[in-house]
Amino acid sequence: ALAAAFIKAAKRADITDFHFHDLRHMAITRLAEKLPNLIELSAVSGHKSLAMLKRYYHPNVEQLAQKLG
């Protein structure tokens, strides 16, 4: 039922090539803005290894450059 509702909402919003799983990528990337410590982020997201977390975390290049000065 959830998958069907997601597909229906995406069609209604005229969004193409977007999958339910993409929400996980977006959520983890947004969480990383609040929890910059990757150990804490992995604890919240449920990832047991940083290697798996890296699959979902996509940092913003501009924000990383700002952190470097």
pLDDT at position 14: 95
Q: Report pLDDT digits (tens) over 18-59.
A: 888 888 888 998 998 899 898 999 999 999 999 999 888 888
Instruction: Give the pTM.
Output: 0.69
pLDDT grade for 1, boundaries at 50, 70 and 90:
confident
SS3 per-residue string spanning the chain:
CHHHHHHHHHHHCCCCCCCCCHHHHHHHHHHHHHCCCHHHHHHHHCCCCHHHHHHHCCCCHHHHHHHHC
